[in-house]
Chain A
Amino acid sequence: MRYDVVVIGGGLAGLTSAALLAKGGRRVIVLERRDTLGGLHSTEEIAPGIRGEAVQHDIGWIPASVMEALALDEAQLSLVRPAASATSLLRGGRTLTLWSDPARTARELASHSEKDARAWGAFGERVTRLAGFLQAIYEAPAPEPLASGAREVLAMLGLGRRVRSLGRDGIVDLLRTLPMSVADLLDETFETPALKGLVATSGVSRLSQGPQSGATAFVLLHHHVGAPAGAIRSRAIARGGLGVLASALAERARSAGAEIRTNAAVSRIAVTEDGVRSVVLANGDELETTLVLSTLDPRHTLYDLIDPIYIDPELSEAVRTVRYRGACAKVHLVLDGLPPLGTELLEGALVVAPDMAYLERAYDAAKYGDISERPYLEARIPTVHDASLATAGRHVMSVLVQWVPHRLRAGAWDASRREAVGDLVVATLGELFPGFASRIVAGAVLSPADIEERYGATEGSLTHGELTLDQVLFMRPVPGLSRHATPIPGLYLAGPGTHPGTSIASASLAVKAIGAVRRARSGDRAATGV
């Protein structure tokens, strides 16, 4: 069989790419190793008759350009942005909620601190302004400071204009904020420990760094790209599970003519001196193509699928040193009732991060290869939005636990260690909700090693490589590859491991990169619909 493009990986990046490429008239096939689509964003059966969020349980930025190109809207994707963005679970049954409506958050904060209530609105505006600038960068191919030529100069000037549109104070604020620790950022703005703890999670989520680590303020801004104005920690969930999103994208791809094959593990990409020749599956099938878009993480693609003689030593070294360091385990809990919080709060994220010192201590353990004794938890209950995910009377709680290091100081991941993580979560929530343990009817734990094995995410990194200042923009995934093309003609990379660090946006940029090269090579405008 011959295809114009073979897309490796049926996660959100792969499905988005396929839909965009197929719409542009390419003959496309998506190859997914597993039997479900969605990758880290899939929805799967976790106990008989009960489905839950595989790993990720909410979603950030989806570029408007992609929604438009695929004629999608939030309703079709069943996306919901709960009024309660995130609720911090505090001792004694107390809570602190960040609402998507900043005015409501400010009213809630007033009972903790008048000063913080007054500062809230301006803080939200500041984050929106700075994240908006990141968004402008993220919507374009990665800036290449060393590239030359008229087009590059124009691109840099355009970037310069966007920077200047922030205004004098905005530029200074951006440059000062990016390398800061999220702890410093919040300490100079707020005084309520619970508020600082809850907001700080945005700077350390899925990352092997604590709130006092440098450049975690950048991480906070990254997670606010595309968020509603003034809303902090607001993310969308999909009614029916994020798998609905994957299905909708798959449907778009198929209706545009793409083929999607599951249970189709790729064993290698065959390459000659001229570039990509074919993709060979584990079952021996060989798909001929001159274009491959891999959405696996860069290490998997360049180390496992390509004959090493085609990777020059310097590139190989750069790929080797990309840091992944998965920081989370996933715990699914099937409950026979809901925690006593009221529906409105239960619709949002439930967070155990009572203050920044708690987060910092939780992180300390991971530095030495230990699991946090008092972990940071991020929980959602998808059944609150769609009861049909579970059997009658049952609820599913999806918990991301941090910090749980991929590489343990002593020993390897095994069943007993996995169990211990489950127990830790139950004990932590049990302290906040008396009797919680007795509500649990089933559970499952995925260690970072399980996430690596099951979803192909190196070291269990949910972002396909740490999102830190030294691994973003022109450094992501490695210098020279930030615009999705690789030194192997016809091989392109997408996925969160590539610029700008989110699945769907990276797919859109990778597809544009393919189009641009094609255009330059053939001058054939008809073949470049996207």
Chain B
Amino acid sequence: MKNGKVDAIVIGAGHNGLVCAAYLARAGKKVLVLERRHLVGGAAVTEEIVPGFKFSEFSYVVSLLRPEIIRELDLPAHGLQILPLESTVTPMPNGNYLAAWADHDETRRELYRHSPLDADAYDEFGLLMHHMAHAVKPIIGMMPPDPASLSPRELMSLGKLGGHMRSLGARKFYALHKLMTMSSADYLDEWFETDVLKATKAASGIIGTFMGPRSPGSAYVLLHHYMGEIDGAFRAWGFQKGGTGGVSEAIAGAARRFGAEIRLEAPVGRVLVNNGRSVGVALENGDEYRADIVVSGLDPKRTFLKLVEERELPSDFVASIRRFKTRGSSGKVNLALSELPRLTCMEPENIARWGGVPIPPQRYLRGAISVSPTMDYVERAYDDAKHGSFSRRPYMDVVIPSMIDPGMAPPGQHVMSIFCQYAPFAIDGGWDDAKREAFGDAVVDALAAFAPNIRRAIIGRQVLTPADIERITGLTEGNIFQGELALDQLFFLRPAPGYAKYRTPVDGFYQCGSGTHPGGGIMGASGRLAALTILGERP
């Protein structure tokens, strides 16, 4: 069966695919988005896993979404509404705790309780990271220049990049070099002495990577996560009202308004190529759709090793894609709770014992709980993973979206989202039901160590291993960034040398997923830059 021809087909309605579709439609193209599942969003979806409880099943916080996308697609008009996440509490093994607040001064006072030196350093650190994030921002928004090319345009682009780096001045330039090459543990050691502070900060440098906080290269990811911005405010993380799926819905709404069509439960089986040019796609059921432009939002391995015949691609390109590292390292546990967790360390008498400022549960439970009590704890969690098992005591980032958005759960009850690391995709012997549940138990145990009432509060539980993430979302090896954010896979190397600018070896076939520059998080930059490339516009 043949269907009518459109200008562009986008494979996959993940957030990048939707962004790309929206920009193409906005430019007047007739766009068709084909999604395998019954809902849009890819890994940014909201699903009612337990009746009455809505979960941001995979991706659960928003911060990196590019402001220009929010603006250009007018996403607030389509339902984008980010509710800020205001604090992070890290329980410590000795019963003490560390709290960090959106309010800088409040955080500083709390830090002072742990170390006056660190409280002082915190100001300077925050300022420097702020500057670093600003320094890197233009790089994220630019097409990666190809350092190996001799074309005048590439050389100009390289020269501009060089000029940008030099314009930072010595202090920032060297700091940036350190961030790009050091481990987050070493980098933080230069600044702070409080272990729990360093552990909590370092933990954000390992999210989605297969590195420990002591591995060189992890400091960069620290910065990557520092770049979150909502409406221009750096470092603010938040929830989408109604769950992360709402972000995808908003982008889909914008795309539809510009005229794009989104077809669900339409899994693409292969990209049709004729004489080195893509001419359309075939669904798994054999239906064919024709278009001059085909864009894949799927990860590079799925895109090039599954959807395209190998003979259509140069062999060195295929080799590059095969060795593109996509080791999934994180899992997710979603809990339906009958009552709120109570952190032992945040009981009023305990806070008083440690000389802290009293904080009611209604306040700190609106923020995150970070289970990253010591740097060694996080490093040991990695040790388990690199030797082939899930972390017996995982690092966890715990949030309770129903505290901020009560509509997520029935009255008086709550949903809890636990991001956990490490859960390696390539676990010894492979994942099975028993291992999944054992992993879920390890997560609950690790949380119960600090919030003993959690066990009796659980009325529903969903454990997602990287194998589950792959099965449900299609992300190869369950890698949440469509490919590891490691220096050898960034910028002009993402996903393969010579093909970092959204083009592929097949004419008319493009890629727009987070497996391309800049990649990672609900950012949308890849989708936007891909669309601009297709439209022949400069970003």
Binding site for B on A (CB under 8 A): 145-146, 164, 168-169, 171-172, 175-181, 184, 188, 209, 212-215, 321, 323, 357, 360-361, 364, 367-368, 468-470, 475, 479-480
**What CA separation (Å) do A357 and B165 show in the bound complex?**
39
26 inter-chain pairs at a CB distance below 8 angstroms, sorted by A residue, are A145-B173, A146-B166, A146-B170, A172-B148, A172-B493, A172-B497, A172-B498, A176-B493, A177-B488, A179-B487, A180-B488, A209-B216, A212-B386, A213-B216, A214-B211, A214-B486, A214-B487, A323-B186, A357-B387, A360-B387, A361-B387, A364-B383, A367-B214, A368-B379, A468-B182, A475-B178
Partner of B217, one of A169, A179, A360: A179
Q: Does B354 contact A (CB under 8 A)?
A: no
**What CA separation (Å) do A321 and B150 show in the bound complex?**
39
Give 14 new A-B contacts, CB below 8 A, not counting A180-B486, A188-B323, A357-B387.
A145-B162, A146-B166, A169-B148, A172-B148, A179-B216, A179-B217, A209-B216, A213-B214, A214-B217, A215-B181, A321-B190, A468-B182, A468-B216, A470-B178
Least distance between B121 CB and chain A CB atoms (Å): 11
Least distance between A457 CB and chain B CB atoms (Å): 20
Least distance between A305 CB and chain B CB atoms (Å): 24
**What CA separation (Å) do A323 and B182 show in the bound complex?**
11
A-facing residues in B144-190 (Cβ within 8 Å) = 147-150, 162, 165-166, 169-170, 173-174, 177-178, 181-183, 186, 189-190
With an 8 Å Cβ cutoff, the count of chain B residues facing the other chain is 39
Contact B177 A175 (CB under 8 A): no
- Among residues of A, the one whose C-beta sits closest to the C-beta of B491 is A175
Contact A469 B216 (CB under 8 A): yes
**What CA separation (Å) do A156 and B231 show in the bound complex?**
40
Least distance between A336 CB and chain B CB atoms (Å): 40
Query: Given A360-B386, A470-B177, is A215 in contact with B166 using a C-beta cutoff of 8 Å?
Result: no
Residue among A171, A175, A323, A360 with max Cβ neighbours from chain B (10 Å): A175
Contact B177 A475 (CB under 8 A): yes
Partner of A184, one of B149, B325, B387, B492: B325
- Residues on B with C-beta less than 8 A from A184 are 325, 488
- Residues on B with C-beta less than 8 A from A180 are 486, 488
- Among residues of B, the one whose C-beta sits closest to the C-beta of A369 is B376
Q: Does B462 contact A (CB under 8 A)?
A: no
- Residues on A with C-beta less than 8 A from B216 are 179, 209, 213-215, 468-470
Encode contact with A along B178-221: 1 for CB under 8 Å, 0 otherwise.
Answer: 10011100100110000000000000000000010011111000
Contact A176 B488 (CB under 8 A): yes
Partner of B182, one of A357, A368, A470: A470
- Residues on B with C-beta less than 8 A from A213 are 183, 214-216
Least distance between A483 CB and chain B CB atoms (Å): 14
**What CA separation (Å) do A445 and B488 show in the bound complex?**
40
Closest 8 pairs (CB-CB, A-B)? A214-B217, A179-B487, A470-B181, A469-B181, A214-B216, A172-B497, A168-B148, A171-B148
**What CA separation (Å) do A247 and B217 show in the bound complex?**
42
Partner of A215, one of B174, B214, B217: B217
- Residues on A with C-beta less than 8 A from B383 are 364
Contact B181 A179 (CB under 8 A): yes
- Residues on B with C-beta less than 8 A from A212 are 215, 386
Least distance between B334 CB and chain A CB atoms (Å): 30
Least distance between B162 CB and chain A CB atoms (Å): 8
**What CA separation (Å) do A476 and B517 show in the bound complex?**
31
Residue among A146, A179, A215, A360 with max Cβ neighbours from chain B (10 Å): A179
- Among residues of A, the one whose C-beta sits closest to the C-beta of B319 is A188
Encode contact with A along B474-504: 1 for CB under 8 Å, 0 otherwise.
Answer: 0000000000001110001100011000000
Least distance between B46 CB and chain A CB atoms (Å): 35
- Residues on B with C-beta less than 8 A from A146 are 166, 169-170, 173
**What CA separation (Å) do A523 and B211 show in the bound complex?**
53
**What CA separation (Å) do A479 and B166 show in the bound complex?**
14
Residue among A169, A178, A214, A357 with max Cβ neighbours from chain B (10 Å): A214
Least distance between B374 CB and chain A CB atoms (Å): 11
- Residues on A with C-beta less than 8 A from B218 are 214
- Residues on B with C-beta less than 8 A from A169 are 148
**What CA separation (Å) do A209 and B182 show in the bound complex?**
12
- Residues on A with C-beta less than 8 A from B217 are 179, 214-215
**What CA separation (Å) do A479 and B215 show in the bound complex?**
22
A-facing residues in B313-334 (Cβ within 8 Å) = 323, 325
A-facing residues in B283-327 (Cβ within 8 Å) = 323, 325
- Residues on A with C-beta less than 8 A from B323 are 188
Partner of A214, one of B162, B178, B215: B215
**What CA separation (Å) do A361 and B169 show in the bound complex?**
41
- Among residues of A, the one whose C-beta sits closest to the C-beta of B493 is A176
- Residues on B with C-beta less than 8 A from A360 are 386-387
Contact B181 A145 (CB under 8 A): no
- Residues on A with C-beta less than 8 A from B211 are 214
**What CA separation (Å) do A273 and B493 show in the bound complex?**
50
Least distance between A208 CB and chain B CB atoms (Å): 9
**What CA separation (Å) do A501 and B387 show in the bound complex?**
32
Partner of A179, one of B147, B174, B214, B488: B488
- Residues on B with C-beta less than 8 A from A470 are 177-178, 181-182, 186, 216
Query: Given A145-B173, A470-B178, is A175 in contact with B493 using a C-beta cutoff of 8 Å?
Result: yes
- Residues on B with C-beta less than 8 A from A214 are 183, 211, 215-218, 486-487
